[in-house]
Amino acid sequence: MKRLSWDQYFMAQSHLLASRSTCTRLVVGATIVRDKRIIAGGYNGSISGGVHCTDEGCYLIDGHCARTIHAEMNAILQCAKFGEPTEGAEIYVTHFPCVQCTKSIIQAGIRSVYYARDYRNHPYAEELFKTAKIAVKKVPFDNIFAVNEEDISGKQLAYIASLFKKLEESGVKKEELHNLYNQAEQLFARGM
């Protein structure tokens, strides 16, 4: 077996963390590292003790799940909770960070961002990283933990959401809608 590089090693940790995700839309993991030592990890999901999207579906507001805390934020908050400084640290994320996570990464003093997959890379997030002089590097990673992962585009997910809305408006019983929604979540649980 070929020995993993440090980047591959920490990215593997992020993919492993992602396997704990309770998000049904995108499975993400993040690992914060300082001096080649893991100081925190996070995955996207609900607050501790809260209802999970895998159990009751997403709570969407303006197309975003209000229930989910992103992996990067969970890792940063873990550092805050346990008194671990993030100044000068590095973060390894399975997907390119969103704008809100980008701002949090910068404010936390993290100096480098490594990500495995492009995901709706927002130009403003890229600009913020550049302005803050944060090193950003794509680290391609073959996810050895993924099982039959399929790429589902945002357009496909939007189409599925519109079908559910039409079914609801046409009077399909809530119980039947709930069953269909759970089937869709299972089908697309590892999707984009």
* Catalytic residue annotation: 72
Residue with tokens 């090693």: 9
∠ CA 28-32-38, rounded to 5°: 115
If you count DSSP H runs as helices and E runs as strands, how many of each does the chain have, helices first?
A: 7, 7
Inter-residue contact 21 to 43 (CB < 8 Å): yes
d(CA 174, CA 143): 37
d(CA 79, CA 86): 7
Per DSSP (E only), the strands in 66-188 are 90-95, 112-117, 135-138
